[in-house]
Chains A and B, each alone.
Chain A
Amino acid sequence: MVPGEPQQQAAMKSNDSPRGTLAGWRPPKSFQQRMIATGFLLATVLLGIIFIMVYRTNSSFVRWNNLVVHTREVLGTLDKFSTAVKNGQVAAVDFYTSGSDQQVKVFGAARAEADKALAQMRPLISDNPTQVHNLDVLIPLADQGLAILAEIIQLRRDGKTGPDAMKPVSEKARKISPPLAKALADMISEENQLLGTRSAEAATAATRARRLQVGGGIIAIVLLISICTLFLRENSIRANVEGQLEQSNSQLELRIAERTEELEQALMLVRKHNEEPFRLFVSNVRDYAILILDKSGDVVSWNIGAERIKGYRAEEIIGHHFSTFYTQEDIVKGKPASALRIATEQGRYEDEGWRVRKNGSCFWANVSLTALRDESGELQGFGKVTRDMTVPKRSDEEMRVRSAQLETSNKELEAFCYSVSHDLRAPLRAIDGFSQAVLQDCEDQLSDRGKEHLQRVRAATVRMGTLIDDLLNLSRITRTELRAEPVNISQLAHAIARDLRAADPGRRADFVIAQDLQAQADPHLIQVALQNLISNSWKFTSKQPHARIEIGLNNSNGKSEFYVADNGAGFDPAYADRLFGAFQRLHTASEFPGTGVGLATVQRIIHRHGGEIWAKSELDHGATFYFTLQG
């Protein structure tokens, strides 16, 4: 089996079903790793065994080799001994024939050499019982042989150089020589035999060691090559698998992208059906500029309203940044950027301010900016709705200017009235006062005509005083704040009637006041209005023998109409429109006194209550005044 095959199969499988198993799939690396690990372990063990074997073989070779060396040493020693004995023999015979003392010394040295060799021999062969035995045989024989040679030297010293003298010695020498040679030969042969065995053993060990070394090396190399091959192969397989994995991933991505595209197309189709009417509607809205900005604020879409309000056609503005619509001042202040930021953070941004049209003119805009996000919450851009509020803004400003003007003129009026109230009356008081003083102090010097003139001066000043007061009242009604609360009209009417009767107790008059008339009005102002209306009725009925004044309420068309009716002088309906003008009088002062301010005051009070006032009359047949309150 090729290692890595399962992986390939797995990879193939993953290709077949990319969706389900891919995410959880891992190549079975452990098998490959196990293979490599086992290979390494095997190689290590094998090399270990080879090492031990080589070591042991080497040790055995060294041991055998040592033994060979030892044997050679023994042989060497035996050789030294043999040589020494021979040298001794030659020296002894030489001395015997020549009598040279030199030969005695040589003999002595040879004898010592032979003894020394024998002495060295014993420890060397102590492990070998055969040789020990042979040595034990050799040593006495060697001693005897050397002793014979010493005897020969002694013969010459004794001067016994004849053949007879030599004969017994030669006899002894002949007897000792073969066993001695044999003992020596036995030892040499034994050692040589050992040498042969040991040399063979050493050679065998050496051969074995060499073989093991070569074999082990070959095995080690083979193992290493195998492991390397395995490793490289595993790597290439892994790379292959990863490549396949990557490939299948990218295939998967491709498939997902394809699916997404399909889905988007489907969605587009659905949207197009749903959104087409909406898109048409938006693009045709004329009163609002409706545009879409991308994330950076560049215009993406543009409707007719935007074109109408801002002056750009779609192709002129799409792709441009929406700060184009801002004034230079606002751009410097960073308003466009902060608008996008606020809309992004809070979802929505609203503002009112001046914006610039294509032609450079400004318009007052009401702007609403909405962040557009997809289903995952990712910001896609902004929807912007702008209204041109220039006209309302202008009228608003005009209104503000007018109210300011009105307030100023009101204040002026108030100051004027205050001044009038104080200063205009003071001279009148002086005129009246000093006229009176003249009348009193100079009564005797004045003619009746003079007194009458002064009386008329006084009457005129008093009337003017009244006029001023009435005018001030009229203006005060306009100036004072209206505070509406529930008011009992019936009660007010009764109180006014009571005062009028008290002021002129001689008159015969009936007051018919409806029960419990209620109204929502300013108590002080409505009192002034009622006072004026009822006093008028009182005044204009003064010439009736039997006056009748009625205060009541009609409900017509769902509206409450209060009325004050009398049977007095009435007025010519032709002049009804002049009835409520200030200083307008339909009767002469001699007929009925008055300043002509009363009804003007009443009308102003009713109007301030949001009501209407009108009158019906016929000359000499009484008059009826109707009024409504709060519309």
Chain B
Amino acid sequence: MAENSILLVEDNPDDEDLTIRALEQNRIKNAVIVARDGAEALDYLFATGRYAGRDSTALPQVVLLDLKLPKVDGLEVLRRLRADTRTKLLPVVILTSSNEEQDKLKGYSLGANSYVRKPVDFVQFTEAVKQLGLFWLLLNERPPVTR
């Protein structure tokens, strides 16, 4: 199951619940692992810290990454993922409130696969999550595993 999981990196419990709700409403049944800050996300992906011992080759299908995060922010998490051969090609979707140009620019230049803005309107949000799920979980072919 972990092979098809979704890693949701989100510090706001409201957004976390709403995102999971949106996923459920779109009948996306993939397991959702939640990391509540950037450091935890990195620990999970590289099997370090409290995730030491986890099989680091078992990567999620997609990472939904917020930008404003405690400890290590979203852009830094992205930079470190892209710098590591194991996670270099891991699909990362930036999922954030921000509509700032600088965030988009930095996100894409660091190698984000998509940039999705969380709308205030939950109906619109659900629609966006549906599109995401369709693309990244059903249509997108995973990149070959690099070890």
A residues within 8 Å of B by Cβ?
417-418, 421-423, 425-430, 432-437, 458, 461-462, 464-465, 469, 472, 476, 480
Contact = CB atoms under 8 A, between A and B. Distances in A.
B125 interface: yes
A426 B67 CA distance: 13
A74 B61 CA distance: 171
A422 B125 contact: no
Contact of B120 (A461, A476, A480): A461
B36 to A, nearest CB: 14
A525 to B, nearest CB: 13
Interface stretch (B11-19, B42-50, B85-93, B132-140): B11-19
18 contacts: A417-B100, A418-B98, A421-B100, A422-B97, A423-B68, A426-B97, A429-B14, A429-B97, A429-B119, A429-B125, A432-B122, A433-B14, A433-B18, A433-B122, A436-B123, A437-B18, A437-B122, A469-B99
Contacts of A458: 121-122
Nearest to A417: B100
B121 A462 contact: yes
Contact of A465 (B18, B67, B121): B121
A435 B21 CA distance: 13
A413 to B, nearest CB: 13
A493 to B, nearest CB: 24
Contacts of B84: none
Q: How large is the interface on B (under 10, 10 to 19, 20 to 34, 35 or more residues)?
A: 20 to 34
A426 B100 contact: no
Interface string B10-52: 0010110110010000000000000000000000000000000
B21 A422 contact: no
B15 to A, nearest CB: 6
Contact of A429 (B98, B100, B122): B122
A175 B64 CA distance: 196
A472 B120 CA distance: 15
Contacts of B21: 433, 437
Nearest to A473: B99
B14 to A, nearest CB: 4
Interface of A is mostly: helix
Contacts of A462: 120-121
In the A-B complex, list the 9 residue pairs whose CB atoms are closest, starting with the nearest: A465-B120, A430-B14, A433-B122, A433-B18, A436-B122, A425-B97, A428-B120, A422-B68, A422-B97
B141 interface: no
Contacts of A472: 99
A429 B128 CA distance: 14
A422 B67 CA distance: 9
A426 B14 contact: yes
Given A429-B15, A430-B15, A433-B18, 11 more contacts: A417-B100, A418-B98, A422-B68, A425-B120, A428-B120, A429-B18, A429-B118, A429-B119, A432-B121, A433-B14, A458-B121
A611 to B, nearest CB: 24
Contacts of A417: 100
Contacts of B14: 426-427, 429-430, 433-434
Contacts of A428: 120
A434 to B, nearest CB: 7
Contacts of A430: 12, 14-15, 18
Contacts of B67: 422
B12 A426 contact: yes
Nearest to B22: A433
A37 to B, nearest CB: 108
A462 B123 CA distance: 11
A432 B120 CA distance: 7
B96 A422 contact: yes
B9 to A, nearest CB: 14
A430 B99 CA distance: 18
Interface in B109-130: 118-123, 125
Contacts of A476: 101
A422 B98 contact: yes
A236 B121 CA distance: 129
Contact of B97 (A421, A434, A464, A480): A421
Contacts of A427: 14
Contacts of A461: 120
A469 B14 CA distance: 21
B29 to A, nearest CB: 19
A414 B59 CA distance: 36
A418 B96 CA distance: 12
Contacts of A469: 99
Contacts of B97: 421-423, 425-426, 429
Nearest to B123: A436
A590 B120 CA distance: 21
Contacts of B119: 429, 465
A469 B67 CA distance: 18
Find the residue from B21, B68, B96, B120 having the highest chain A CB count within 10 A.
Answer: B120
A434 B97 CA distance: 17
Contacts of A436: 122-123
Find the residue from B14, B15, B101 having the highest chain A CB count within 10 A.
Answer: B14
Contacts of B122: 429, 432-433, 435-437, 458
A480 B102 CA distance: 11
A421 B99 contact: yes
A458 B67 CA distance: 25
Contacts of A421: 97-100
A429 B16 CA distance: 11
A272 to B, nearest CB: 73
A66 to B, nearest CB: 140
Given A421-B97, A469-B99, A426 B123 contact: no
A427 B18 CA distance: 12
